[in-house]
Amino acid sequence: MTGFVTDGFLRTAEEEPGKTAIVLDKEMITYETLAHRALGFANYVTSVNAKRVALVASNTIPFLEVFLGTLISGAIIMVIDPKWPLRRVVSLIEEHGPQIIVADRDVFKNLEKELSLRPLICEDDLERWRSSKSNISSYTGRFSPEMPFLMGFTSGSTGYPKAFLRTHESWVSSFSASATELGTQAHDKVMIPGPLSHGLALYAAIENLCVGGTVYLQRQFNAQEIVQHITLKNVSVLVVVPTMLDIITEVASAARLPAIERIITAGSKLQKPLRDKAVAVFSNAELIEYYGASEVSFITVARSSEEPPEGSVGRSFRGVSIDIRDPSGRSLPFGNTGVIWARSKMLSLGYVNVEEDSPAGFREENGWATVGDIGHLDSLGFLYLRGREGDMIISGGYNVFPEEVERVLLGNPYIKEACVFSLPHSRWGQVVCAAVCFARPKLNQIKNVKEWCSGKLAHYQCPKRYFGLEGLPMTSSGKVSRSKVVNAITNQDSTITELFITNHPA
């Protein structure tokens, strides 16, 4: 499949100009107006001959005007999380050199003090470019599908974010595959409450705009408003990380929301207790969970209608081949654990400005790529994750993957959130630890949790130190921040209580 990311969006603007494209709180914009504004910004980008545009903004309609306009112009859009520390944002801008920077009001004020030599535009001041009489034909032939359009950044939850590039061709291939696997259709009304600076929400918004759907956004995540939108505005699809889905199901409580046809999740494993809660609330919804990485795109999909095996992350996504390899690169047979490699037309171009001897991450060889995740395939082709190479804990000579232990902890009905990590130990090198947030504070009996783990994990995998807290710190994308948890514990944060400790981790 060839073409450009914005082809479907512009086609809808021409064929159905009055159709609603985006609803954000009380704001609404049609495809025709959104296209005019995007073309207006594209004119500006072209007039100053900008090759890169940095976008540092929260969820707003102008965010998507700038994003789509940059793509139409042929330039590369750099999407930077506005919640990252200012020093990190400035460092990324200085490292990757955008010619234009667009920021929301709060970030703009801070960047103004740090950056004085580049065009710095406040999102509030985009009005001058919002009217355009340009036709898309004026941009035809200026770039090709093989060219990059997006510079994304890894989440930075455990370190400094790495920049990677995606081409038009890779995303158009992703659109084709996800139309089949995620069921994306022009009549969909899709609620996407997560931050557009995060890959899950950004891809979902652009994919649905490019198929002609209507996208519902929120400036700030609000579960109560989501339930109201679903009830009153016939929202049919929900795209969320599991953390958000958990909050939404709690707010909905005993309500039944049959209007939802599909719930799409990614970012972390959708655990069985949450799946059961979601099925009870969204009685007609198919649960679709996909596994992948920003650098590799889709790898597997688990659809509830296909009844995937418990514990798996599903079968290979459409157009994806999966291979499990040992450290030397040799393919392993079914059932053997190794590094997960994927091959498809959806791969990124890899990292930008990263030295070859830098920490493990995206690697590409002969059309196959990996981000270092570890797992195995069963004989039916279903994939099971153990963790990531760089996160592995070595305690007393045993290898422990935090994600594997977290999945067991989150299966306990008393535990709402869990984060597994290591702390130094004089004898064992590293000791496995767990920070937990209990679902029912009055029942926070650590004995129950210890017995639960000992019955489901090898002895060396069981956490030897447990810490209790009211809520785990999250990244802006809705994932637990392992680094923040470790920092809070090592700095002896007063809100954290050590619940149990043993000196015999192995």
pLDDT value, residue 234: 82
Please write the tens of the pLDDT for every residue from 320-339: 999 999 989 999 999 999 99
Does residue 259 sit in helix, strand or coil? Answer: coil
Render 13-67 in DSSP notation, one character per residue.
Answer: HHH-TTSEEEEETTEEEEHHHHHHHHHHHHHHHHHTT-SEEEEE--S-HHHHHHH
Residue 500 pLDDT grade (very low, low, confident, very high; cuts 50, 70, 90):
low
pLDDT tops 80 at residue 475: no
Q: What is the pLDDT of residue 236?
A: 95
Note the pLDDT of residue 261. Answer: 96
Q: What value does the mean pLDDT take over residues 122-141?
A: 69
Other beta carbons within 10 Å of 90: 16
Contact between residue 419 and residue 435 where contact means Cβ atoms under 8 Å apart: yes
Phi, psi for residue 281 in degrees, rounded to 5: -85, -45
Do the strands 52-56 and 100-103 form a parallel or antiparallel pair, or are they unpaired? Answer: parallel
Pick the CATH number of 392-501 from 3.40.50.720, 2.60.40.420, 3.30.300.30, 3.30.2350.10: 3.30.300.30
Average pLDDT, the chain: 88
How do residues 487-496 score in pLDDT, each as one tens digit?
A: 888 877 666 6
- Provide the pLDDT for residue 238: 97
- Give the per-residue pLDDT at 455: 83
What pLDDT sits at residue 361? 76
Position 50 scores a pLDDT of: 95
Q: In the chain, pLDDT over 90 holds for what percent of residues?
A: 58
Domain limits, CATH 3.30.300.30, in the chain: 392-501
Q: Which residues belong to CATH 2.30.38.10 in the chain?
A: 296-389
pLDDT score at 219: 93
What the block records as the tokens of 395 is 């305690």
pLDDT of the residue at 174: 96
pLDDT-based confidence at 315, cuts 50/70/90?
very high
Question: Regarding predicted confidence, which is higher, 60 or 493?
Answer: 60
pLDDT band with cut points at 50, 70 and 90 for residue 2 = low
Average pLDDT over residues 436-456: 77
Range scoring the smallest mean pLDDT among 4-13, 143-152, 208-217, 443-452: 443-452
Higher pLDDT, 254 or 294: 294
CA-CA-CA-CA torsion sign (271, 277, 281, 284): positive
Q: Given a cut of 90, is residue 25 above it in pLDDT? A: no
- Whether residue 137 is predicted with pLDDT greater than 60 in this model: the reply is no
Q: Which pLDDT score, from 0 to 100, does residue 503 have?
A: 46
What is the longest distance spanned by two Cα atoms in the chain? 72
The alpha carbon dihedral of 406, 407, 412, 415 has a sign of positive
What is the per-residue pLDDT for 504? 44
Confidence of residue 191 (pLDDT cuts 50, 70, 90): very high
Q: Is the pLDDT at 240 greater than 50, yes or no? A: yes
- In angstroms, the CA 375 to CA 326 distance is 11
Residue with token string 């609803």 = 23
Q: Which CATH class is domain 296-389?
A: mainly beta
Does 446 score more than 80 pLDDT? no
- One-letter amino acid identity for 455? G
